Structure 1
Amino acid sequence: MTSMTIEENPSLLRWLAHRWPTFAAIPIVAASLFGLADVRGLAFLLVLSPLGYLVPASLHRPGITWPAVLIGSAVVAPMKIFGFNPAYALLVASMAFVVIGTVRRAPGFGIQAIAAVLFAVLAVTALEGGSLVLAGVLIALGLFAHAAWDVYHHRVNRVVPRSFAEWCAVLDVIIGVGALVLIF
């Protein structure tokens, strides 16, 4: 039996090419968890993940998703580098997009706004609740719930591109597990 290289197996190459969102998520997971001493440093993801859906829903433009991710990363990264938890800044951005979506009466926006509010409540509770264990559990549960949200949106192929839903689900699950590891 001879082993085949990736170039000799086009179906494997095609499969790997289709899984680029999964592979793109892994270094971001590593960067999010690297050197993290306090699980509350992950609470911002409970605001950022729904914002990835709220922005395209409020504008009724799924194509804006990946550019919005790049802009969001450019805003979040310096805050993280300088030791600020970007959760509250992202809450302000979320409120702005709730107003925009409400004014525009974007179709399908309402459920995205409700989800963003529920995830924001989890984030604030995790940040302000006092207990690190409670914070870690809330963050993990929120990320797992958002991963289910991602899977649903990947399946129905609405609001955001499927590549984003896959990417976000991978981030949510792995970082959710990381949040649990940090508290136990």
Structure 2
Amino acid sequence: MKNRVKWAGLTAVFVGSLSLVGCGSHVNSAANKTAPAADAAGNPPFQNKLKMEIGRKINRYNPYSVNAGVFSNVKVETPQGKTVFLNANKQPILFTAYWCPHCQRTLVLLKKNLSQLPVRPIVVSMGFASGTTLAEAKKLETQEEKVLGLGTAFQIDYGLSLGKKDVPKGFPTLVYSDGTQLRMLYGEHTLKIWKEALAKAQRAQ
């Protein structure tokens, strides 16, 4: 019985630690359930969450191996409404959600240190409610870019048809090739670790 209690406690700590470094993959996560809907699809309005859910950033290079088939043909929409397919073997892809505090801080961190990045990832904005139109997604993303001062630092596409299989652990998620296989880096990391991952992606190009 004591071992069960101990294991349950360790599990709770582990799950809690994950929530401090990243967000779940669905717009209706606990963090958004109390927020009023911003549009007909049910998306919460954009909020500046830079000072929310602050934990210790991950300072360890801890990527996962991923299925190349899933990320070599990622269907997204450009801001102009054109459907294109991204290949993480050729260009690193950073999956983010506008309502995720960890994503907001990550984008601000990368924007602030653009000159130090070996290569810029393509940002795929997702995590929208089912049925969200491109116009609704662009409105929310534009608010994020303006409030956070991101400007035109990154190429931003929209993953309106993407789901949990694309970000199984949540946001932010960087998928890239390290030269031997595709890797996935999940959670809010330090600049040092983002640079390490992007340097591997650059060498693999």
TM-score, reference length from structure 1: 0.32
Q: Between Structure 1 and Structure 2, which shows a larger proportion of strand residues?
A: 2
Flag the structure with higher helix content: 1
